[in-house]
Amino acid sequence: MGWIFFSVALGYAVARVVFGYREPESPLTRLTRGEAAFLAAAADATFPSGGALRSSGREARIPAYVDRLLIASHARSRRQMRLLFFLLEHATLFFPAPGLSGFRRFSSLTDEQRVAVLDGWASSRFWQRRLVFGSLRAILTLGYFAHPPVLRALGLAPFALRSPICEADLLYPRIGAHPSSILLTRADLTPPSDGTPISLGAPIDPRYAEDDS
């Protein structure tokens, strides 16, 4: 009898953890459906639509950014980030959000419940919980600011700058390339920066100037 109950409970737990997530809005390389759903939910709770900065977390494509970040990260960092997402997504199965339907995964909660859960982590008297929240919010914030319209709205997009060509450019190929790929010669060297201050109205870097709203 005991093992039947155990099997049913285990099956229920696995189902709650693994299944029931919708297809992500854009194709992702590293993130699972569950992770993408969690990040989208957390992103919108942290950056709701409208207000001082128009873009919401989801509109800022934070899950896609985290997907890129995971690709660029080292294996150990990747594991830590995924563990973080898993912990926060499922913590409410054990420590429920406020309200009758609080015993659900984070991504299945209502907007108000999600905000309440995150506030609980942020203001906890246990520094470990605050650390967990801080880590999540750091990742979400990095993703939010990687969205060019956000930086443009704040007037903080990087300037368009043309790098001088110096001796080092004749020595170092692009990462992964062979030195024979360096086509520059001494004749290509340009004068070093003359220290003229950048003017505040200078054009912004093309990567941030695109219409990407």
Site residues (CB under 8 A) for other proteins? Answer: 45-48, 51-53, 68-69, 72-74, 76-77, 80, 115, 118-119, 122, 127, 130-131, 134, 137-139, 141-142, 144-146, 151, 154-159, 161, 163-164, 166-179, 182, 184-186, 192-198, 200, 205, 207-208
Task: Tell me whether residue 25 or residue 119 sits nearer to other proteins (CB atom).
Answer: 119
Contact 47, 144 (CB under 8 A): yes
Task: Tell me whether residue 27 or residue 51 sits nearer to other proteins (CB atom).
Answer: 51
Contact 150, 50 (CB under 8 A): no
Task: Tell me whether residue 105 or residue 133 sits nearer to other proteins (CB atom).
Answer: 133
Contact 140, 134 (CB under 8 A): no
Task: Tell me whether residue 194 or residue 211 sits nearer to other proteins (CB atom).
Answer: 194
Q: Would you say the C-alpha torsion 130, 112, 87, 4 has a positive or negative sign?
A: positive
Compute the least distance from the CB of residue 33 to other proteins, in Å: 23
The residues near 110 (Cβ < 8 Å, ≥ 6 apart) are 99, 101
Helix (H) or strand (E) holding 73: none
